[in-house]
Amino acid sequence: MKRTVLFFAFFILSLFHGFSQGTIRLTIDNALKLAREQSLQMFLNKHYYMADYWAYRSFRANYLPTLNLETTPVSYAKASGLRYNSVSKTDEFVRTENLSSDLTLNLSQKVAATGGTFFVQSDLSRIENYGFNPYTQYSSRPVGIGYNQELFGFNSMKWQRKIEPLKFEKAKQEYLQSTEEMHLSTVVYFFSFLRTSSQMEIAHTNVDNTANLLDVAKQRFLLGSVTREELLDLRLSHNNALIALQEAQLNYRESKESFLNFLMLPTDIELEAVVPNKMPVDEVDVSTVLQKALDNNPDILQLEQNLLASQRDVDASNKARHFQSNVSLSYGLIKDDGSEMNNGQLKNVYSPDFDTYQQVMVGISIPILDWGNRKGQYEVAKSQYQITQVASQKSLQQFKQNAITEAIAFNIQKSRVEAAALSDTLATESYELTITRFKKGQTDVLRLTSSQTAKDNARLQYINALAQYWNYYFKLRSLTLHDFEKNMDVEFDEAAILGL
């Protein structure tokens, strides 16, 4: 446990640069990287996918040859049983006592195209009879081959081979989408922390500025260039700044702890969020966004899966309306040894001169009277399929509209960030000039307060614009599973997930 803690601490220290004693300078890229490696959501994403992976492996294994060994090592019976007496030509109860054993080796292979099962078997049985004339018998079937097939019935394997690979592909896309949604959550936490950090920084600055300006105003009040009303306004501004600082400190602490908990880091670590100075892309091609969303989004595969499942239900209910027939064919070699006259020998049942056996069995089930139950189930399945078709078409249309809207909304974010950055710069310069003018007695307190408010709002609006840009960017990545910065689809590394 101690080694784990030490390794984790070393990992954190080596991951980030530019930190001073206990403080981590966190860029958005580093936050995203740390979230991928440390967040609880990524842990859950991995194990959700692994469950889907093993479910798919189980499905694939179900269509591979299976080899089973079945045995009853010991079976003892002492009871009365009904037997036919060939001498008296009557049935009579006979007291018997025997000890038996059997062994079966079975190799089977499912045939998905037909829904049947091909098998090869080898059997060995032994029975030891007790009583007035005890004897031992052996029976072997060295090899037997056969085939079981349901005729005119529902072939579930055919539909599984269509639906299960689709479900597995959807599971991969859902894993990638969950990762992008985790990135989006990281962005939300990052900018929430950055916003409260900026608010606290602004609050500190305002406390210092109002304190300095209050000193200046007191001197000017003595000279008569500042009225008592203006002096009181500055005192009120300074007091409000102190209150705002306390609130900002509380909000900062709460957002920092939430961010650290999300990243699964100790809450006593100090963070310093760095304002992003670059944007991955300026704009995206709307048609590319739409096409990538249709190609990569798991919601599209879900629509396909729903349609296939409805078609499967229609097929199953339709086949159930008609008669069912089962055919079983088998052929093999068999040999017995042992009777009341002499005990059997194991080696004899595997010696040449085997007998052959053939078996053909046909079973038929014909529905005659079910009071419309099967027809009703079929009509329900058909109606459900039609409903699913309409719902899928509507969902697909809405999906396309949402993809186009998201792309258009993203393309205006860069200009909003640039406009907010310009407003932030202008408001800061204006406030600095207003302070200088106030100290020279060239403007009043009202103008000073208004300039300070504009400066603070412009700074927060700039951070909000950046947050909006990054939110829209990762929404697009989640929607399309495409990295627009590298111009490539988000990669799925199954080996890394499974630890191979």
Distances, alpha carbon 115 to alpha carbons 109, 148, 149, 159, 164, in Å: 11, 9, 7, 10, 16
Q: What is the pLDDT of residue 277?
A: 87
pLDDT at position 500 is 57
For residue 120, list its beta bridge partners. 107, 145
Report, in angstroms and rounded to the nearest whole number, the Rg of the chain calculated over CA atoms. Answer: 40
Q: Which of 51, 20, 19, 24 is nearest to 38 (CA)?
A: 24
Amino acid 38: pLDDT:
82
The pLDDT value given to residue 444: 78
Within 13 Å of residue 65, how many CA atoms lie on the same side as its CB? 7
DSSP calls for 206-222: HHHHHHHHHHHHHHHHH
CA dist 301 and 493 (Å) reads: 20
Q: Bin 224: left if φ > 0, else alpha if -120 < ψ < 50, else beta.
A: left
Looking at residue 462, its pLDDT comes to 94
Task: Give me the tens of pLDDT residue by residue for the chain, a chain 500 residues long.
Answer: 333 333 344 344 444 433 334 678 889 999 999 888 888 888 888 888 888 889 999 888 888 999 999 999 999 888 887 877 777 888 888 788 889 999 999 999 998 888 889 999 999 999 988 877 788 999 999 999 999 988 888 888 899 999 999 999 999 999 999 999 999 999 999 999 999 999 999 899 888 888 887 888 788 777 777 778 878 888 888 898 899 899 999 999 999 999 999 988 888 888 889 999 889 999 999 999 999 999 999 999 999 999 999 999 999 888 888 877 888 889 988 888 888 778 888 888 888 888 887 878 777 777 777 777 888 888 898 899 999 999 999 999 999 999 999 999 999 999 999 999 999 999 999 988 988 887 887 777 778 788 888 988 999 999 999 999 999 999 999 999 999 999 999 998 888 887 75
Pairwise CA distance, residues 7 & 1, whole Å: 10
Tokens representing residue 419 in the block: 């406009």
Q: For position 305, what pLDDT does the model report? A: 94
The whole-angstrom separation of Cα 243 and Cα 199 is: 12
Residues paired with residue 160 on neighbouring β-strands, in sequence order: none
Q: Is 326 exposed, middle or buried (0-12, 13-18, 19+ CB in 10 A)?
A: middle
> Is pTM beyond 0.85 here?
no
State how far the alpha carbon of 242 is from the alpha carbons of 35, 60, 232, 246, 396, in Å. Answer: 35, 67, 15, 6, 54
Q: What is the pLDDT of residue 22?
A: 63
Retrieve residue 498's tokens: 């499974």
